[in-house]
Structures are given as structure tokens and as C-alpha cells.
């Protein structure tokens, strides 16, 4: 099974109001065993995730929320936009 870490991110306008909210999913590999998602995400460096995704200029770490893959699929998955 694919192991994914999923996020909900918000960007803000010049007045500090939320401008847009969108999802980000990172697939980190395959695992034959079940992985505890809470343990996996417990030490996530949100600033590092934003830098890696080249989003650090439009999203601040405090506007990053870790969500479950199920939440991501429901809100941002391919079927959600149709």
C-alpha cells in the first residue's frame, strides 16, 4: 500500500485573511505493514514540507494542518472536484 501524508494548507491575502485553501498529499513510499498515521505525522516539520513543495512563499507553517488520507480524498481527491 502507498503511504501518504496529507495536508490542508491556507494562503492569506495582504490583510491576513485566508485567501484560499487547498490540499497537498505526499506519497513517501510503499509498505506491506500498516503504519500508525499519528506516529508517522507526530514529528512533521511543516516549514520543511513547505520548502520541499516550494510553497513557503505563499503559505506559513501555522496555516498547515495535517489531515488523514481519507479526509484528503474526500475534500481534494480526483472525485471531489467533479
Question: Is 16 domain-assigned?
Answer: yes
Average pLDDT, rounded, for the chain: 93
Provide the pLDDT confidence category of residue 78 given band limits of 50, 70 and 90.
confident
Question: Is 42 domain-assigned?
Answer: yes
Sheet order of strands, 2-12 included: 18-30, 2-12, 64-67
Question: Is 82 domain-assigned?
Answer: no
pTM of the model: 0.88
Instruction: Name the residue range of residue 16's domain.
Output: 2-76
Per-residue pLDDT at 81 exceeds 60: no
Per-residue pLDDT at 49 exceeds 60: yes
Identify the residue whose cell numbers are 506519497: 27
Domain count, the chain: 1
Let me know: does 5 contact 41? Beta carbons within 8 Å. Answer: yes
Residues 5-41 pLDDT 10s: 999 999 999 999 999 999 999 999 999 999 999 999 9
Taking residue 9's Cβ as centre, other Cβ atoms within 10 Å add up to 21
Handedness of CA 23, 4, 72, 44 (dihedral sign): negative
Amino acid at each position: 500500500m502507498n503511504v501518504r501524508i496529507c495536508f490542508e494548507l491556507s494562503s492569506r491575502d495582504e490583510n491576513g485573511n485566508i485567501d484560499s485553501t487547498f490540499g497537498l498529499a505526499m506519497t513517501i513510499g510503499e509498505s506491506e505493514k500498516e503504519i500508525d498515521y499519528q506516529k508517522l505525522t507526530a514529528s512533521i516539520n511543516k516549514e520543511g514540507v513547505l520548502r520541499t513543495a516550494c510553497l513557503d512563499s505563499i503559505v506559513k507553517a501555522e496555516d498547515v494542518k495535517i489531515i488523514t488520507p481519507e479526509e484528503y480524498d474526500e475534500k481534494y481527491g480526483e472525485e471531489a472536484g467533479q
